[in-house]
Amino acid sequence: MGNSYPARYNSNGVWQLNDLYKNSITHKNFPRGHSRMVQMGGLTPTYVNTMSFITMETTGNASDFGDMSTATIEPAAVGSATRGIFAGGRTGSAIDNDVIEFFTIMTTGNAADFGNLSVGRQRAASHNNDTRGIFGGGATPTIQNVIDFITIATLGNGTDFGDLTAAKFSPAGVGSGTRGIFLGGGPSYKATIDFIEISSTGNAADFGDLTRGCAPTGNGVCSRTRAMTMGAEISGGSDDIIDYITIASTGNATDFGDMAAAVYASGCASNSTRGIAMAGLSGGQSNVIQFITLASSGNTVDFGDDTVAHHRNGACSNAGGGLALTS
């Protein structure tokens, strides 16, 4: 039968917990949770349809995952324990793409059709819990306040959830499992923060303000308790500021630390302990991957390099906001 586990039982024929732990780290075929981040699309400066991935608990360079059906910039992405989903964005022929695609997050391969958003758009924000994906705001190029939701396990089109407090594009979207947060955005580099309760429907409410007005353009990460922006577009360029909020409360953001360099339009995702930014615009297009430890405060640390230098890419993980893992 190949590898088998040592027959270590107690008097009742039940595995001892310490033996299960020992075998979990010594037998490679014992299932262990690990989190994967997948980024997709972007501008190199040409539009690309490539996808790449990293294992979030380690450090190192990204590997090829597969392809999107169409080269796309600025897609919004969500991930469950099993599926990654991206929606909208801009293609070479459409600035208001409404296509939703999905992939199995722990299996490399190409994306497949999922459905369509209620309103095609680029530069939307996204977040999710274990069952629902949320897409809010964006531009068609008309600036939108629309919030859509999907059921991650079921193919189909986006359904109306409610509206943001104001129309905006390029906010950062993060979700704790219960609350979804929209941070900043354009036009005019807003500092405002909105929130929703993901499991219900209805309009967003005011949460507080970031430390400055900015358009984080997807540069958001979170744990179950904290949400951060990792760099942003500001008037005149980009910045290196990392802000954080406590998700369960309301109030203004606090300084967390700094990025290694001013950057925006990265693909960002998180697991329960780390927030990771892949690529972005930092003077020119970058392939740098950097991370923070969510529970502490401080500056980013180098993780490795993406497969290509680009920005305006999307990203998701199978453990965003500390979601439970299945493998």
| pLDDT tens-place string over residues 67-124 | 999 999 999 999 999 999 999 999 987 788 999 999 999 999 999 999 999 999 999 9
The answer to whether the CB of 278 falls within 8 A of the CB of 266 is: yes
- This prediction's pTM: 0.88
- State how far the alpha carbon of 123 is from the alpha carbons of 2, 42, 177, 213, in Å: 50, 12, 22, 17
pLDDT band at residue 322, thresholds of 50, 70 and 90? very low
pLDDT band at residue 33, thresholds of 50, 70 and 90? low
Q: Is the pLDDT of residue 64 over 50?
A: yes
- In DSSP notation, 54-123 reads EETTS-S--EEEEE-SS-EES-EEEE-SSEEEEE--EESS-SS--EEEEEETTS----EEEEE-SS--BS
Domains and CATH numbers, the chain: 37-322 (2.120.10.80)
Q: Is the pLDDT of residue 238 over 80?
A: yes
Q: Nearest Cα to 174, choosing from 248, 265, 269?
A: 269
| Integer Rg of the chain from CA | 19
Q: Nearest Cα to 295, choosing from 275, 317, 273?
A: 273
Q: Is the pLDDT of residue 325 over 60?
A: no
